[in-house]
Amino acid sequence: MHCLVVGVNGVGKSTLLRAVSERMGIPVLHASTEVMRHMGMSLDYDKLRSLDQDYVLEQWEETVKNLVTQYAGKPYLLDGHIMILVEGKARPRDGPWVGRQDGIVLLKAGPETILHRLSLDARDRDLFPEGSSDAEKLAILEHYQTQTEAHFNELVAQYHLPHEIIMIEQLDAAITELEAFIHLNDQPR
C-alpha cells in the first residue's frame, strides 16, 4: 500500500511513522526530502520554503510519479502535507499526486500538544508571525488543523481514497490504528 500520512506540523507524523515502519518493515518517505532530492537540492528546508510554491508543486507531481513507479508492488508510508503554514497563514499544498496514493490518513492532536512538540523541535519552521504569544499560536494551530481536516475531507471525496482520521495523543493506540488501516487497505486501487 502507498499510504499518505498527513497532518499539521508537529502533530507527530514522523514519530508515528518511524514506529510503524519498525514494526511492519514498510519504508517511510518524507515528502520534502524526496522533492529536494528530485530537484537536485541539498536538504535545505528554508530554501525549499523560499522557492515559488507553484514550482515546488510541479516538481512534487514529478517526484510522486517517480515514487509510484519505483515502488510499484512495494509499500511505502509517505509523510507529507496537504496544507502548509507559513507565518500564521495556511495554504493548500496538494494536487493530482494525492490521488496516486492507495489511501490517506490524517493525524490530529490537541493544539497544546502540538505547540509543546513544536517547542521541542530545533528547526525554525517560520510557522507563526514573529512575536506571536502562546495564545495566538494555539489559535493559529487550531485554525490550521481545522482547515487541514476540511481539505482532507475534500481530497478524500475528490479522489475516492480509503481514509482514516487518527488522534495521536496516545502513541501506542495510534500505531495500532494505523497498522489496522494498512492491513485493511493493503490492495492497490
Q: What is the pLDDT of residues 10-45, one digit of tens each?
A: 999 999 999 999 999 999 999 989 999 999 999 888
Nearest Cα to Cα of residue 7 among 77, 87, 70: 77
- Global pTM reads 0.92
**pLDDT for residue 188:** 59
CB under 8 Å to 118, separation ≥6 — which residues? Answer: 9, 10, 125, 127
- What the chain holds in terms of domains, given with CATH numbers, is 2-29+74-182 (3.40.50.300)
Question: Is the pLDDT at 189 greater than 70, yes or no?
Answer: no
Q: What is the mean pLDDT of residues 120-138?
A: 84
Range name among 72-76, 84-88, 91-95, 147-151 with the lowest pLDDT average: 84-88
Q: What is the mean pLDDT of the chain?
A: 91
* Predicted confidence band of residue 169 (pLDDT cuts 50, 70, 90): confident
DSSP reduced 3-state for 106: strand
